[in-house]
Amino acid sequence: MSTDMSIISLISEASVLVQLVMLLLVVISVLAWTAIFIKWKVLKEARAASDQFEDRFWSGGDLTRLYEQLNSNPNLSGMERIFKAGFKEFVRMRKQDGSSEIAIEAAQRVMRVNMNKEADGLENHLQFLATVGSTSPYIGLFGTVWGIMNSFRALGTVQQATLAMVAPGIAEALIATAMGLFAAIPAVIAYNRYRTDTERLVNRYDTFIDEFTSILQRQAHSAEHK
């Protein structure tokens, strides 16, 4: 008598607990791939927005005019949001206190706060991908251990044990491990890639803050010596 060893048959004949583990891993895998595509889109848009803003910023145009153009857009993010917040605070403190040094320090603090907010937004879903990558193999291993344990328990009820009797049970149990790896491997790869991309973007924001602060200092110094 032949035994059906197809994947579908092995899954359908697995124990309820092993099937639940497999179902959980399928759900986790779907959520992980959803997070991967969402994060890819977010980082792609953030890089494009930074490139476009830097082209405008370094084109030699008037910063006040650039600020006014951005101020009419309520959906700013990334470098644009950092610039808008810093320039607004600089102008406000200059009018309020009159000291360029105090205004520049206040603008720098505000830009750092906004940079941290942007970094938090870019890091969304990364922790989930890290969790999937680290836990999915163990969830699959739990299903495998449970399935193999049931297979060997079944041998206790027969007088003569053969490999053909335990092979289906072991095979269905190992599917859980395979599904755990299928969920974990893409999540780990995506996490490492997106973590690097996020750090590069945040470093670009940080460099921009330093460069913009230097520009404000030069302009303030020139204004004071006119």
pLDDT per position as a tens digit, 151-178: 777 666 655 655 555 666 677 778 888 8
**Domain membership flag for residue 142:** yes
- Domain with 89, as residue range(s), is 62-224
70, pLDDT greater than 50:
yes
Half-sphere exposure in the Cβ direction for 124 (13 Å, CA): 13
Task: Report pLDDT digits (tens) over 146-158.
Answer: 877 777 776 666 5
Q: Residue 151 corresponds to which amino acid?
A: S
CA-derived radius of gyration, the chain: 29
Looking up tokens 């650039």 gives 66
Average pLDDT over residues 195-202: 94
Give me the number of domains the chain comprises.
Answer: 1
Report the C-alpha gap between 110 and 91 in whole angstroms: 12
Q: What is the pLDDT of residues 9-50, one digit of tens each?
A: 666 666 788 788 889 999 999 999 999 999 999 999 999 999
What single letter denotes the amino acid at residue 27? V
Report the percent of the chain where pLDDT is more than 70.
83
Does the residue 145 lie in any domain? yes
For the chain, how long is the longest CA-to-CA vector?
103
If you average pLDDT over every residue of the chain, what do you get?
A: 84
